[in-house]
């Protein structure tokens, strides 16, 4: 169908349907090249803060220019999906980051983005667009800030005043002109340094710079080496997959509310397996139980490596 020409109506159609899909927030920014972000990213890479995540060096131009991803891009839509769990793990078991409690968020959000794009086609008209969920070359936190979602905390996470930071960020780039939200202009972290002080590996630096190569999440998920560096011994605080320390201590997360997304309901084994049961878990059982989980990212060998590291 031909595209209707009404930016206000189009914007409301998109935001209303995003809410129906369960997204907590939907904000829109004008698609422009992120020159300042490009300089920061280049500096970050040059300092080696990405460690062995060499993929971060790829597609640099695509990361900072939405028109490289969607020709004639006009708008960048940011969507937030809450993942804060109703229930949490036993404290004496190897710890798993809350984002990995339920079904793999990539699959959940990708499906929602496809449905949203289809809705745009049906109710607005012909449009080109692509959806992204953190595994693609998009600076989603920069776009979230520009769309008014919240501010970037000292721990590098997007923080909202209403519900803290336990959100996934999704991005949909489209070639439709829409009404644009004001960028979030204020930083409400103030003089607080709780996240910096609590980081077990000193990965949080000044000026909201994160040395990802020192982050527990990097070592337990992204690092594919068979051995974790010995100098990290005793610093993981029983984190087996990811780390939530900087978010758990953030005062803004006292406002977190449990997610209503059924796909993020915790897998029972995540909440209930003891240390001994994790250590005795077979590879076949791991594949069966966590076949739809983000824990697949590190594979069974990675879980074995991480368990051994935090328990010896």
- For residue 82, what pLDDT is reported? 98
- For residue 244, what pLDDT is reported? 98
Contacts of 104 (CB under 8 A, 6+ apart): 292, 293, 294, 296
The residues that are catalytic are 134
- For residue 123, what pLDDT is reported? 95
- CA-CA distance, 164 to 84, in Å (whole number)? 10
- CA-CA distance, 195 to 301, in Å (whole number)? 30
Relative orientation angle of helices 7-20 and 105-123, to the nearest 10 degrees: 140
Contacts of 142 (CB under 8 A, 6+ apart): 34, 37
- CA-CA distance, 177 to 6, in Å (whole number)? 9
- For residue 3, what pLDDT is reported? 57
- For residue 2, what pLDDT is reported? 53
Looking at residue 98, the DSSP 8-state letter turns out to be G
- CA-CA distance, 252 to 235, in Å (whole number)? 25
- For residue 84, what pLDDT is reported? 98
**Which residues are registered as beta bridge partners of 30?**
75
- For residue 14, what pLDDT is reported? 98
Gyration radius from the chain CA atoms = 20
- Ranges of each domain in the chain: 7-174, 194-255+267-311
pTM of the model: 0.94
- For residue 137, what pLDDT is reported? 72
Q: Which residues of the chain have pLDDT under 70?
A: 1-5, 135-136
* φ, ψ dihedrals at 167, nearest 5°: -135, 145
């Amino acid at each position: 169908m031909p595209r209707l020409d009404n930016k206000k109506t189009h914007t409301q159609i998109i935001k209303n349907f995003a809410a129906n899909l369960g997204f907590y927030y939907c904000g829109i920014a004008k698609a422009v090249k992120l020159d300042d972000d490009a300089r920061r990213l280049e500096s970050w890479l040059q300092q080696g803060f990405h460690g062995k995540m060499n993929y971060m060096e790829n597609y640099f131009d695509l990361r900072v220019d939405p028109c490289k991803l969607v020709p004639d891009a006009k708008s960048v839509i940011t969507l937030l999906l809450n993942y804060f769990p109703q229930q949490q793990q036993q404290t004496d078991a190897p710890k798993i980051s809350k984002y990995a409690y339920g079904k793999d968020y990539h699959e959940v959000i990708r499906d929602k983005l496809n449905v949203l794009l289809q809705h745009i086609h049906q109710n607005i008209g012909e449009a080109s667009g692509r959806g992204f969920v953190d595994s693609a070359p998009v600076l989603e936190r920069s776009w979230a800030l520009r769309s008014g979602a919240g501010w970037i905390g000292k721990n590098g996470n997007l923080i909202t005043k209403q519900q803290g930071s336990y959100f996934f960020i999704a991005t949909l780039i489209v070639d439709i002109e829409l009404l644009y939200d004001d960028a979030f202009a204020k930083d409400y972290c103030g003089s607080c340094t709780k996240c910096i002080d609590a980081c077990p590996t000193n990965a949080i630096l000044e000026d909201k710079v994160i040395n990802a190569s020192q982050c527990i999440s990097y070592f337990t998920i992204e690092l594919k080496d068979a051995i974790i560096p010995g100098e990290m011994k005793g610093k993981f605080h029983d984190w087996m997959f990811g780390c939530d320390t900087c978010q758990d201590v953030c005062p803004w997360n006292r406002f977190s509310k449990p997610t209503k997304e059924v796909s993020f309901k915790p897998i029972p084994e995540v909440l209930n397996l003891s240390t001994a049961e994790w250590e005795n878990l077979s590879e076949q059982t791991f594949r069966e139980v966590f076949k739809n989980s983000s824990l697949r990212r590190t594979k069974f060998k990675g879980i074995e490596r991480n368990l051994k590291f935090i328990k010896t």
